[in-house]
Amino acid sequence: MATTGINGGFTRIIYAAFLAIATLVTAGCGDIYERADFTTLVMGKSDRDVTKNVGKPAAVDSSNPERVTWTYNSVTFNLANNNSRDSKTIVVFKRDAGGKLTAAEVKFE
């Protein structure tokens, strides 16, 4: 009976350690999108809608107010290439007739 108590305690410790590690590993993970899904979520959308749909970018280049680019790091993958992750995904915004920024192009690098 003493052996069962030791094994039971050991099993609980292993289980708790596994849960702690799994929580830490997944805590830093954001959403990952297949290229087509990401494109659907952003194309033709306002900057506010893009932020709502896929989150804040890692970098913004607004040096040209008519063509603003948002760069996301490692948020998309290429289904056609063995699910390889794209290091960068760039969303290009252009101003519409009303002057609002609208996602007009997506580039995967």
DSSP states of 22-88: HHHHHHT----EEHHHHHHHHTT-BHHHHHHHH---SEEE-SSTTEEEEEEES-EEEGGGTTEEPSE
31-108 in CATH: which number?
Answer: 3.30.1450.10
Position 105 pLDDT exceeds 50: yes
Position 86 pLDDT exceeds 70: yes
The pTM for the full model equals 0.73
Tens-place pLDDT, residues 22-54: 444 444 457 999 999 999 999 999 999 999 999
